[in-house]
Amino acid sequence: MSDSPRDVQARVVPVNSAPKITMKFLIKTLIKYNASDLHLKAGRPPLYRINGKIVPVKMPDLLPDQISSIFFELLNPEQMKTLEKERQLNLSFLVEDTGRFRCNIYYHMGSIGAAIRMVPLVIPTFDSLGLPSVLKEFCQRPRGLVLVTGASGAGKSTTLAAMIQYVNENSHVHILSLDDPIEFVYRDEKALITQREIGTDVPNLTDALQAGLRQDPDVIVIGELLSKEMIQIALTAAETGHLVMATLHTNDATSALNRISEIFPPDGQQQIRVQLASSLVGVVSQQLLSRADGNGRVVACEVMVKSPVIEEYIRKNEINAIADAIANSNNHYKMQTMDQALSRLVQAGVVTMEEASKGSHSPDDLKLLVAGITRERGFEVMDRGQAA
């Protein structure tokens, strides 16, 4: 009987008789223990992320030459040149009947290291991920900007994949996806999907985005907004009749909106806020939490939908008032704060209170929400449904 992920967390993964270190062997071990990520570093054994925690394999520490040989077999000559020149490289590779893997190879202290993440072969759905249904409404918009935000490893790429697939299954449109590198591979259904890999199909993301506007797309999926040039092009695309989906490394909607405006010089920030207020559809900010039953992780989402009130807050640079607007707009606009999302997961028994508190902006307020109590004008008030 195989070990469960919960058992594996408590100790090192048992690999008592390790064969020659190859990528195939490393991936086989990743699949065996349902790990999401693999880390390779000289002086440490292979390390796997299982249920959000880094776990070492019980085997000798890797030597620099061992790690180099793993990737010499994987990379083509052009990729090797790029790695030597840039000292880092993004790529993806396919393992038949298993999945695609996103890989970042880099130099540290003179030797090669790598972080490898599994991308399932099956495109995820909203239902399989447990995403809020309002995201389907985002996907049905003919134009505008949709942001998916969260920390690294929060599942942003997976959420974007579910959104792309929903559009693919339901709309006769052209989807242009700009990937660095390509992770999920889509098959055209109702939509025409063009996937361009940065560094392979086009030199850089900014060039890809500029050229993309001339390729008759209805939906443009950018990945991460990294520069003011990319943000400006994305906003212009959203204003001119395209649905633009992009990610940011921020923890909530207000941080995302501030990040977008503050990347510009002070004399240009108001114009960006005006564009953002006009074109924004909504923001979903997410994190992954360990399930109470030890069986993997579950997503928790803050959802901001651009309402007339929020549009005015953005335009007037009253971004910090948006958090309260989200908390008070649950029923009409289907918004929810992160604490509201966490409280529902705790009440449903999906995650423990301890786990939810780690992801809460205010653990004390979270406890009140779980108990059916909300803060209102400085007082603690029983939720109407609880008070009856």
Q: For the chain, how many structural domains are there in total?
A: 2
% the chain with pLDDT above 90: 78
Please give the C-alpha separations between residue 107 and each of 23, 91, 206, in angstroms, as whole numbers.
18, 15, 26
pLDDT score for 96? 80
pLDDT score for 59? 86
Q: Is residue 282 included in any domain, yes or no? A: yes
Per residue in 11-29, pLDDT tens?
A: 444 444 444 688 989 999 9
Q: Is 183 helix (H, G, I), strand (E, B) or coil?
A: coil
Lowest mean pLDDT among 159-168, 186-195, 323-332: 323-332
pLDDT score for 263? 96
Q: Are residues 67 and 158 in the same domain?
A: no
Last residue of a domain, one of 120, 148, 175: 120
- One DSSP character per residue, 265-277 reads -HHHHHHHHHHHH
Six token digits for residue 276: 């953002």
> Is there a contact between 245 and 160 (Cβ–Cβ < 8 Å)?
yes
pLDDT score for 4? 47
Q: Are residues 215 and 283 in the same domain?
A: yes
Q: Is residue 387 included in any domain, yes or no? A: no
Q: Is residue 212 included in any domain, yes or no? A: yes
Q: Are residues 62 and 175 in the same domain?
A: no
Q: Is residue 157 included in any domain, yes or no? A: yes
Q: Are residues 164 and 203 in the same domain?
A: yes
Q: Where are the alpha helices (DSSP H) in the chain?
A: 5-9, 23-32, 64-72, 77-86, 126-129, 134-139, 156-170, 205-212, 228-239, 253-262, 266-279, 308-315, 322-327, 330-333, 338-347, 353-358, 363-370, 384-387
Q: Are residues 69 and 143 in the same domain?
A: no
pLDDT score for 20? 62
CATH number at residue 226: 3.40.50.300
> Could you tell me the residue range of the domain that residue 262 belongs to?
126-336
Q: What are phi and psi of 380, to 5 degrees?
A: -95, 125
Last residue of a domain, one of 60, 90, 120: 120
User: Long-range CB contacts (< 8 A, 24+ apart) of 213-218?
Assistant: 213/237, 213/240, 213/242, 215/174, 215/176, 216/174, 217/174, 217/175, 217/176, 217/242, 218/142, 218/171, 218/173, 218/174, 218/175, 218/242, 218/243
Q: Is residue 145 included in any domain, yes or no? A: yes
Q: Are residues 91 and 175 in the same domain?
A: no
Q: Are residues 268 and 286 in the same domain?
A: yes
Amino acid at 157: S
Per residue in 56-90, pLDDT tens?
A: 988 899 999 999 999 988 999 999 999 999 999 99
Q: Are residues 13 and 135 in the same domain?
A: no
Q: Are residues 148 and 114 in the same domain?
A: no
Q: Is residue 375 included in any domain, yes or no? A: no
Q: Is residue 359 included in any domain, yes or no? A: no
Q: Is residue 354 included in any domain, yes or no? A: no
Helix then strand count (H, E) for the chain reads 18, 15
Per residue in 104-162, pLDDT tens?
A: 999 999 999 999 999 988 899 999 999 999 999 999 999 999 999 999 999 999 999 99
CATH number at residue 11: 3.30.450.90
8-state DSSP, 338: H
Last residue of a domain, one of 312, 336, 360: 336
Q: Are residues 116 and 150 in the same domain?
A: no
For the segment 259-282, the average pLDDT, to the nearest whole number, is: 97
Q: Are residues 209 and 296 in the same domain?
A: yes
Q: Are residues 235 and 181 in the same domain?
A: yes
